[in-house]
Structure 1
Amino acid sequence: MPVPELPRIPVTLSSSSVYPMGVAETFSIAEDLGYDGVEIMVTHRAETQQADVLNEWAWRFGMPVKSIHAPTLLLTQQVWGTAWDKIRKSALLAQEVGCDVVVAHPPFRWQGTYASEFASGIQRIEERTGVMIAVENMYPWRAGGREATMYLPHWNPVADDYRHVTWDFSHAATAEDDSYEAVRKLGSRLRHVHLTDGWSNGFKDDHLVPGHGNQRVVEAIEHIAQPDFGGNGFQGAVAVEVTTRSAREVGERERMLAESLAFARKHLGQE
């Protein structure tokens, strides 16, 4: 009896990859280069917060929103009120644009009950909304040779009690972690990937084009592409999240994003 063919893993473009350009440019570039959809990072910009705007662009460019990145960064602490409001509103936005994944950073240690009750709290939101909250790996903060304990319970979600996890290769490089081993350990809990790269250099979060750093990106991506990954195959999307702010020449940003897409297609076996 033939084994049923698994759906092709979507490769999407994060709106952070086109910064400082906006949402419209994200959808336009994604369509031009042949991506399968987009990830929207919620920021201070109103366009990233409005479902009607996102749905309009998704329809116009034929690029569905596949994931929402909650405003849980230090730079977005003033967006959408309290820490719990950020998660709840992100899940609601995901529902309104028709996707089922919200990316969220682990809580900061100083965030009180939000931090201490984070795992159980996001589980309740998942059960109420049907949206998966995929907690992203971060990295330790180091200064003067010392490591500051910034996240609770930890910057690395692999050992924590989260149902769903996002893996970011640049964060792994900063943490001097092994992405391939982490992806293997996560198995079916891995529901989303931020495709990028970086150098293990102590603190700098590079977000390089994949293949331009020292993470085991090739091995990890080829591993999740296996039909038996996590028992039933990888069920999420691979979102390109690279820094293109250094682009100066005409077309340079597009070349970086095209190279990232080609990398994903090749190692996911989609060429």
Structure 2
Amino acid sequence: MDAKTGFVTQIGMEYGEAFEIADDLGFDYVELMMDSATERQHLDPDAVRASADDCGLDLAVHLPFALDIGSPFEHVRGGAIREVQAAVETASAFGATKGVLHASSSAWKPAWDAEIIGSNVVRSVREIDEFADELGFEICVENIPDGWFTIHDFDRIFEETDASMTLDTGHARIDGLDSGGTASFVGRHGDRISHFHLNDTRRAKDEHLPFGSGTIDFREIFAALPDGWNGTLSLEVFTLDYGYIETSKAYLDTLL
């Protein structure tokens, strides 16, 4: 495996400090969350790029979380797509080449058929992916648990779009896959999985623990990847204490 490693910034992290610590800890990149203070309108692309360059880092982004690209309402869906595209443009301007996308909907489940929402999600992913491709930017669709479009629905993303996948290990566990089940999924679809959110858990909850402190068998999951896999591995730890990021990095390096 020739993977690159990074971590996802959290609400309250200042990106310049995150970049400096990532450099000190030997990460290859930072995945900048484009929400809150680092939403696109709050960012100066030239300043972000200069800060990353000073630290010798590549960049990825987590595109905005709650945009409803699967909405059954035409103008809501259209606006969500345009906002994602605007975020992609900003990310591309500061040098990011990969972005995590939530392919989901907040549509009211008693009122809407799953096929309608699923078709909307697929069409929106295709439109966003085609837009991003023109910028040389890779869309990586994340599996979202307990929603309209979970990891069990991803065959449709693979079959009907050209987008890559972000596999969130904790989300897969919430949706019923143990470590062996996730490894089996990786073995079937490793050629389309470009990015991971390394979300460690002790149970079927979205815990985002320091990497290695949960019970997910990442060694088994990594072993299922194709020979020569060269994607990206983001530690997604819900903390503002960089000590936990450092501990997580050390354990990840041991596994790799």
Whether TM exceeds 0.5 here: the answer is yes
Which runs of 5 or more residues in structure 1 are unaligned? 1-5, 75-80, 141-149, 246-252
Amino acid at match of 1:103: V
**Structure 2 CA distance for partners of 1:37 and 1:154, relative to 1, 3 Å:** closer
User: 1:219 maps to which residue?
Assistant: 220
- Residues 129-144 of structure 1: pairs in structure 2 closer than 5 A: 129-130=132-133, 131-140=137-146
> Can you give the 5+ residue segments of structure 2 that lack an aligned partner in the other structure?
68-77
Is the Cα–Cα contact under 8 Å of residues 135 and 164 in structure 1 kept in the other structure? yes
Q: Does 1:105 align with 2:111?
A: no
Kept in 1, the 8 Å contact 2:140–2:194? The answer is yes
Contact 1:176 1:200 in 2 (8 A): no
CA RMSD of aligned residues (A): 2.7
* Pairing of 1:144-155 with structure 2 (within 5 A): 150-151=147-148, 153-154=149-150
TM-score by length of 2: 0.78
Q: Where do residues 181-200 of structure 1 align in structure 2 (5 Å cutoff)?
A: 181-200=184-203
How far, CA to CA, are the matches of 1:36 and 1:27 in structure 2?
10
Residues 39, 64 of structure 2: 8 Å contact kept = no
Q: How does 1:101-180 map to 2 (within 5 A)?
A: 101-110=98-107, 116-130=119-133, 131-140=137-146, 150-151=147-148, 153-154=149-150, 156-162=152-158, 163-178=163-178, 179-180=182-183
Identity over the aligned pairs, expressed in percent? 27
* Alpha-carbon distance in 2 for matches of 1:106, 1:136: 7
Secondary structure, counterpart of 2:190 in structure 1: helix
Matched, 1:30 2:22: yes
Off by >4 Å, runs of 4+ in structure 1: 46-49, 111-115
Asked if residue 62 in structure 1 is aligned to residue 56 in structure 2, the reply is: yes
How many residues in Structure 1 have an aligned counterpart in Structure 2? Answer: 229
Residue by residue over 1:75-118, the C-alpha shift from the partner in whole angstroms, topping out at 9 and shown as x without a partner, is: xxxxxx93112321232123212232210112215199886333
Which digits, 9 at most, give the CA deviation of each residue in 1:48-77, with x for residues without a partner?
Answer: 652223112112222221x11111237xxx
| Other structure's SS at 1:197 match | coil
Q: Tell me if structure 1 keeps the 8 A contact 2:4–2:230.
A: no
The aligned residue for residue 86 of structure 1 is: 83
1:221 is displaced (CA, Å) by 2.3
